[in-house]
Structure 1
C-alpha cells in the first residue's frame, strides 16, 4: 500500500495563489494537482467517493482505494500552506464486516505528515429518520446498528496555528457551535441535487468559516456537486477543485452559478 511515512522538514512556507486558478474546477484526477503551486491553499475540505459500488465510483479494492486517497492527500500536503488545514468527511461502511474507514483515513493523513487536530461527529438524523436495516427485529440473534452519523477528520500541516492573512467572518454563536465535536446538520437530498452522495453546503461552510480567513483559497479534490465551492463563495473565499466526471463538473458549475442568486442551490 502506501509504505513508510516520508521524512518531512517544516518549511513555514505560505504563498499567494495565482489568479488563474481561483474559482476553477479542473476536470481531471486530483492525484496530480499540477495547476496549484506549493503552499498556496489554506484549507482542503472534501468528501471522497465512498467506493461502495455507487454509480460514480470505480470498483476499487480497499487497498487500491486507500492508495488513491494517499496520493491525493500527498498532493494536498504539497499545496497547503504551513498551518493549512484538512477536513475529510468519511462514512464507515458495511455490517458483515464493519469497515471503520475513519480510522484508515486518519492513519493515511498521519502517514503523509499531517498533524491530527480532532474528529467531528456529523449527526445527520435522529431516531426513526435513519436506516431501517435492523438485522434481527427485536431479537439478540443479529441486531444491526443503524447509521445516523458520519465523521470529519481534521488535520493540519506543520503547525497548529496559521499566519493571519485576512478577516474572520464567523459569529460568536457560530464559533461556539463549530467548536463542539458533534454537529447536527441535515443531509442534502440526492434526488434534488442530482448527485448520488451530495455534501450539504452548511457542512463545508461551517468548516470554512472556522478554519480560514476571508479571501483564502479552499480546495476540494473530489468536488462532486460543488458544495464546497458554493460555501466558499458564500463566505467570501476563493475555491479550486477537481472532478473527473464532466457531468458532475457541469452540475457543480451550474449550482455555483445558481447559488450566486439563490442561497439554497
Structure 2
C-alpha cells in the first residue's frame, strides 16, 4: 500500500494540519511533529527547561558601550539581561591578537566566555557563534568542539548556518596534490554560524516589535547564507566579519530595542549592525586599538 504524505489544505475555512509520515511532508504550516520528537532518537535530548523567566536591565552606564577588558568575567552585567550574543571568537592561529594556546587551553578560554554569555542571556535568549575549521594535517573541526562545549554549558542548539563566502574567500592554492589523488585537499570557502538558545527555544514577544521584512525572513531562515567577506585592510582588523552577518542574526532573533552582546568585539561589526537595526549593544575586546577603531565606526554611524 502506498502511503501518501498529507499536505496542508484549507478545509471548511480552516487549515488542515500535517503530521510526520513515512515519507515526510512538503510543507510545515501547522505541522504536528510530536510523533517525530517522541522517537527514541530524542530520548534524553532535553528541550525547553525551566530556569525562570525574569529579565534584568543592563546598567545605564554600559548601554551602547565597548569595554576594553576580557569577557571571561562580565561583572558589570547582572544575570539575564542580554537578548542576543553574536560573536566570532579568535581562532588561535597566530594573528597578532592571538595567544599560542593548546587546543585544550583554547577550548577552556572559549568555554569561560560562553559560560558568562549563558549567565547574562535572558531565558529564550540566543547566541550566534561564527567559527571556521582549521588546518589539514589533521583537520581541526573547531565548530564541533564549540557545539560540544556549548551543550555542556547548558545551551540548547537551534541549528547551524553555512556562510558561503563564494569568490570573496580568495583564490586559495592550498589544494594539496595538483590534479592527483595522491593527497588532494579541500579548500574551505565557507564558515559556520552556530545558533543556540538559553533555557527555551521561544523568546517572549509581549509588546516587543519585530523589524524583519517578509523578504528578509524568507531569506534568513534558510540554512545557507551567501555574502562576501570583509576586507581586513579596509576594516583594520586581521579577521573581521562583515556587518551583514550580525545584522541578519539581529533581525532574525531579536525585537526592536533588545540588547545585543559581542564578547569578542574586534572592530565593532556587531555594534554597528545593532545600531542599524535599532538595538542596544555592549562589546568587549582586550586590545585598545580595536576598541578605538570600533568607536570611530560607531561615531560615523551616529552621524549618518
| Fold-level similarity (TM above 0.5) | yes
Residue in structure 2 matched with residue 175 of structure 1 by the alignment: 217
C-alpha deviation, 1:228, in angstroms: 0.1
Kindly indicate whether the alpha-carbon contact (under 8 Å) linking 1:83 and 1:162 is maintained by their aligned counterparts in 2. yes
Whether 1:12 and 2:61 are equivalent positions in the alignment is no
Q: 2:138 aligns with which of 66, 80, 97?
A: 97
Instruction: Quote the Cα distance in structure 1 between the aligned partners of 2:169 and 2:105.
Output: 35
Counterpart in the other structure of 1:80: 121
Show structure 1 runs of 4+ deviating over 3 A.
126-130
Deviation at 1:260, TM superposition (A): 2.9
CA shift for structure 1 position 128: 8.7
1:181-220 correspondence to structure 2 within 5 Å = 181-220=223-262
1:28 aligns with 69
Q: Helix, strand or coil: the match of 1:260?
A: helix
Q: 1:13: how far off?
A: 2.4
Distance 2:134 2:67 in 1: 29
What does residue 124 of structure 1 align with?
A: 165
Q: Which residue of 2 aligns with 1:3?
A: none
Q: What is the rounded CA distance, in whole Å, between the counterparts of 2:183 and 2:282 in structure 1? A: 46
CA shift, 1:199, in A, is 1.1
Question: Contact (CA 8 Å) 2:169, 2:229: kept in 1 or not?
Answer: no
Show the counterpart of 1:249. Answer: 291
Quote the offset at 1:74 in angstroms.
0.6
**Which structure's CA Rg is the greater one?**
2
Instruction: Provide the residue aligned with 2:88 in structure 1.
Output: 47
Q: 1:251 to 1:133 in 2, by over 3 A?
A: same
Bigger Cα displacement from structure 2, 137-146 vs 123-132: 123-132
Query: SS at the partner of 2:161?
Result: strand
In the TM superposition, what is the alpha-carbon distance from 1:243 to its structure 2 partner? Answer: 0.4
Alignment length (residue pairs): 255
Q: CA deviation at 1:9?
A: 6.0
RMSD: 1.4
Residue 137 in structure 1 maps to residue 186 in structure 2:
no
Superimposed CA distance per residue, residues 111-148 of structure 1 (whole angstroms, 9 cap, x where no aligned partner): 10000000000001149944221111111111111110
SS at match of 1:145: coil
SS at the partner of 2:186?
coil
Please list every run of 5 or more consecutive structure 2 residues that lacks an aligned counterpart in the other structure.
1-48
Question: Which sections of structure 1, spanning at least 5 residues, go unmatched?
Answer: 1-7
Please point out which of 146, 149, 159 is paired with 1:108: 149
TM-score normalised per structure 2: 0.81
Q: Does the 8 A contact of 1:130 with 1:148 survive in 2?
A: no
| CA spacing shift, 1:127–1:76, aligned 2, 3 Å | closer
- The whole-number CA distance in structure 2 between the counterparts of 1:199 and 1:134 is 24
Contact (CA 8 Å) 2:169, 2:189: kept in 1 or not? no
| 1:257 to partner: Cα distance | 1.2
Contact kept in structure 2, 1:90 and 1:150, CA below 8 Å: yes
Match for residue 163 of structure 1 among 187, 197, 204: 204
Q: Does 1:235 align with 2:235?
A: no
